[in-house]
Each structure stands twice: as structure tokens, then as C-alpha cells.
Amino acid sequence: MYLEKGARFLAVGSFLVNWHSAFKQCVASDSEIMVAHTRSENAILSSPAQRLVEERVGKLPFRGRHHRLPRRLSDDYIVTAKVLGSGMSGDVRLAHSRTRQQPAAVKTLRLSNCPSEILASEVQIFLCMDHPHVVRLFDVYEYDDHLDLVMECMQGGELLDEVNRLGKFKEAHAAEVTRQMLLVLNYLHSHGVVHRDLKPQNFLYDRKGSNHLKLVDFGLSKFRGQRERMHTTCGTMAYIAPEVLERNYSSQCDMWSLGVMVFVLLSGYLPFKDTGDKKLQRRIMKQGRYSFDPKRWSNISSEAMDFTKCLLQPDTGRRLSIQKSFEHPWIQKSLMKPDESVVVSASEALLSFCQRPPMQRVCMSMMAWVLSNEETAAVRDSFLMLDTNHDGVIELEDLEDLMVHKISVPRDEASDCIRALDSTGSESIHFSDFLAAMLSSRIAMRDDLVAVAFQRFDTECSGKITADNLREVIGDEFGGKDVEELISEVSTSSGGTITRPQLAAYVQGTSVGGRTSSLKVPPCAVKFKPKMNHQKCCSVQ
């Protein structure tokens, strides 16, 4: 059976309710987001929204990616006419970085299509995302009437395309895909985000021939606690949980959607068939009635069927939680087993990074947010191995124990060092913190990376980085040093500014103007060769 694609609809089969009208109905009945929309506001992302992002990911990851005039999208990217996909807000277009020559996907969100509060919510959540199984958001350009979102370009197509190509997945393959979806879902829920529109169309393969999936599209996502109730009927009907139709639900609604996707992966068909009758369809969905076709399920293990049944429970109290899902025997078989040599190597790199001067860590942290998929792919499995709780972060306590027991670092020294890695005070290390550390050992420090970092610190596009520029991006200090001290690490000029050659020399360990850095490109580093690939990329539904 061929499963239909299409944009976000509250529908199955011929029961189509256009998202535009459904969305308006949801907004009108939803006290969560009924805030008066005023075009006179100077910023789409309000000050409280900006503070929330900074609290979650830190000042640098937000301020380094969120741009306002005079910086424009065209300063940093060449946007082509090639359309990668379309959604309610418009087309998603192919673009290329002017500095790195790597492809990107540009999505434009216009105030004329949606109130600023709704746009801000989507962008706010996307800016907070930092996980190996989430599409990376490179930049956000804010104007008076719209936002331009620049994302990494996914070249492998949708998970739904693969289901349609194969008919259904082999069980081991389905378990591996489910494991990846569980990892990203646990990350979302652990950080107070409910997706509310999980479906195969929103999981994309990073490249052709790859089995690595990334989640995209946070247009219906909300910041909510795991038990906090929501009351908006929204999503795609085929994947909506019964309690969502009752307008009284929690984050467990995402687990039902996951169950529908697992059912599709294993069988190749949707559990809830289109009846052609709107009222009957909603009643069937609310009751959660479905059946296993013996022809499709005869070769499926009892463990896989049990896992599916435990997710597709209309009673949320009986439905598998995210934690219990990881403990299920079917998932346990597919979990990644730690490789001690990889864990030791990553721990040594993290220790080396936290011992570097503050300005080096600032530069490497900025570079981490612009790494290509090829570069992050070289180290993402190491991060996931260190993430023992499967919640998308590395706990500082766990890392301290690794340093003490695996690489014989004195506990006091290990404790002092790892505090430098905690950019948000959350007692944990996020994926981009990890990527920054890998720049000192396993990812090449290329000239184009330095150039992008320089551009982001040069907030006035003046060709130099001043103390005010640096303060605008990182705040008044970093690592116990104020911005003037940080600049003096790099520049010997009396004017207290940094030029691009000076920054390149500083991070690459060459000499310019009498200042030399010890940061070298490691001989074992991954050599990245950018490709201008025009295959189907990240399309936001």
C-alpha cells in the first residue's frame, strides 16, 4: 500500500481538512496561544523569548545564530530558485553558504501568513534544539515582517519515501529506526518540549544511502512539562492520539504517534483506515480501534507486536512511557553498545578542550554550530555512547567518573575541568559543546570554519571584531575573563580589535603580529570536502 505524502493536514485519505482553516480554528479555541498580535512590535522574537533560549542553550548559541539588520541573509548565503519543498508558510529553497560552499535549506516565515507569537514559538523551540537526531539550525535572520531560517540540507529524503519504496521494513531495520526516534523524542520530552506532529514525513535521512534520521518541523511544538495538560486539537489525523481529539492531553500524545509510525514500519499500512465518514473516522480514532492483518504480521516477532500494542493504548496510563520504551526487550536489542576505546578517546578530547584558554573555547564553540553533516557524523556516535541516560546530554557527574576511572585524572582536577564545559549551568554537556571539544582532536580546523566564526563575531559587518561586538555575542565575560581580556589573547593592536587573519592565526596556531596560538589541526582530524549536491534536501512540511 502506498502511503500518501502532502502538507500538514488534519486528515486521513480523502478526509482532508486544510491546515489553514484547521489552524485558525485551533488558535481561536486555544488559550495557550491567544495573545494579541500587534505589528508595531520591533521584534518578532520578544525579549522574554530570547531570554528563554539563552537560558536553555547559552548566550553564544543564540546570539551567534540570531541576526538582525544590518546583517541580511544575502550577506552569508546565495539563495537559489530551486524549491526543496512547500508548507503553509511558503517554499523551502536551496541555498549555499558564501563562506563554506555547503548546501543549506532556507525557510521563510512571514507575518502575513501567521501571527508573530506562533512564528516566534516555532523559532524559539528550533533554536533550543541541539541533538544528533535533530536537523541543525544554522542561522535565523529577523526582519520587520518575516524570518528566514537557514537549516542544514538533508539529502536522503523522507522516512515515508523509504517506507513506500520498501513496502515495509525488515524487523531489525524497523527497530533501529525506532531507536533513533526514541532518542530524539526522549530529548524533546526531557527538555520540556512536546512535538505534537510526529509522522514519517518529519523524519529525514541525512544523505543518500544513510540510515541516520533527523527530526524537522517544530511548527506545532510546545514547551510543556511531561504531565502538563494541553487542549488544542492539532497534528496529522492518521497519527493523532485519541486524547488529542478529546482536547485534554499531555506529552504522552507523542508516544501514540510513535506507535502509529512503528506499526507502519513493520506492516506497511496505517492502523486506522479511512472510512470516508468524518464522524465515524473520529470515533474510531478516539476509541483506538485497529487490527493486525495476519498476512502482514505473520513474520513479526511477539516482542515487536507487544511493543506496538503497548504504544497504541488509548488509556494513557497503560501506554508505554518514554523511559519504559527503552527498557522494552525489542528496543534493548538495538541500543548502541559502548566502545571503551571510543569513550576514552572522547573523554581525553573533552579534558583537552576544557584546559584551553577561554578565547579558544569561545571560537571553537561558535564553529561547532556551523559544522556540516559530514563533520558532525564523524563524532556523533561517540556523543551518543557517552549519553548513558539517552536524554540527549552527557551528565557532568558521569563524565567526571569516566575521567577518573578511564584516563586516571585526579578527581579534583576532573571536577574543575568539566565545569568549563557546562555552558548553561545545567550540570550537563550538550551536543554542540561536545562538537566544540572535538575540534581540538577529531574535526579539522579549516579556514572556512574560522571565516564563519569571524563573521558571527563581526556583528556590524565592519571587517573587524571589537570589544562591543564580542560583548554583544557572548555577554560581558566568558570563563572568568571580560571581553577586553579575551581580545587581548588574540590581538596585539592598540585599538583592541581582531582582524580575520589574527583570528585564523590564533585558532590554527600560526603567527600573525607576534602572537602565536598552540591550537593545531590534529593529523588524525577528519578531512571534509564540501560537495555542491543538488539532490532533494530538507523540506519542512
**Contact assessment for residue 92 and residue 83, using Cβ atoms and an 8 Å cutoff:** yes
Whole-angstrom distance, CA of residue 207 vs CA of residue 341: 27
Q: Which residues contact 141 (CB under 8 A, 6 or more apart)?
A: 67, 68, 71, 72, 73, 147, 148, 150
Conformation bin of residue 247: beta by default, left when phi > 0, alpha when psi is -120 to 50? left
Whole-angstrom distance, CA of residue 129 vs CA of residue 218: 10
pLDDT tens digits for range 162-176: 999 999 999 999 999
pTM greater than the 0.75 cutoff: yes
* Residue 249 three-state SS: strand
**Contact assessment for residue 160 and residue 201, using Cβ atoms and an 8 Å cutoff:** yes
* The C-alpha cell that represents 514 in the structure block: 607576534
Long-range contacts of 511-518 (CB under 8 A, 24+ apart): 515/490, 515/491, 517/360
- For the question of residue 206 being annotated catalytic, the response is no
Determine which one of 76, 130, 148, 197 is catalytic. 197
Under CATH, to which class is 39-152 assigned?
alpha beta
Q: Which fold has domain 159-332?
A: Transferase(Phosphotransferase); domain 1 (1.10.510)
Whole-angstrom distance, CA of residue 40 vs CA of residue 478: 35
DSSP 195-225: -S---GGGEEESSTT---EEE---TT-EE--
Positions in the chain whose pLDDT score sits under 50: 1, 6-41, 513-541
* pLDDT recorded at residue 111: 86
List the chain domain ranges: 39-152, 159-332, 341-516
* pLDDT recorded at residue 259: 98
* pLDDT recorded at residue 7: 36
- Separation in Å, CA 497 to CA 465, 470, 530: 5, 10, 31
* pLDDT recorded at residue 9: 35
Q: Which residue has the cell 561536545?
A: 434
pLDDT tens digits for range 89-147: 678 999 999 999 899 999 999 988 888 888 899 999 999 999 999 999 999 999 999 99
CB contact burial 107-133 (16+ within 10 A = b; e otherwise): bbbebebbbbbbbbbbbbbbbbbbbbb
Bridge-based pairing of strands 213-215 and 481-482 is unpaired
Q: Which residues contact 9 (CB under 8 A, 6 or more apart)?
A: 16, 17, 18, 19, 22, 236, 237
Under CATH, to which class is 341-516 assigned?
mainly alpha
Closest CA to 195 of 147, 244, 157: 244
pLDDT tens digits for range 31-67: 332 222 232 346 889 999 999 999 999 999 999 999 9
* pLDDT recorded at residue 6: 42
* pLDDT recorded at residue 26: 37
Whole-angstrom distance, CA of residue 188 vs CA of residue 395: 16
Provide the edge-to-edge strand list for the sheet that holds 66-67.
66-67, 137-142, 146-152, 103-110, 90-97, 77-87
* pLDDT recorded at residue 86: 78
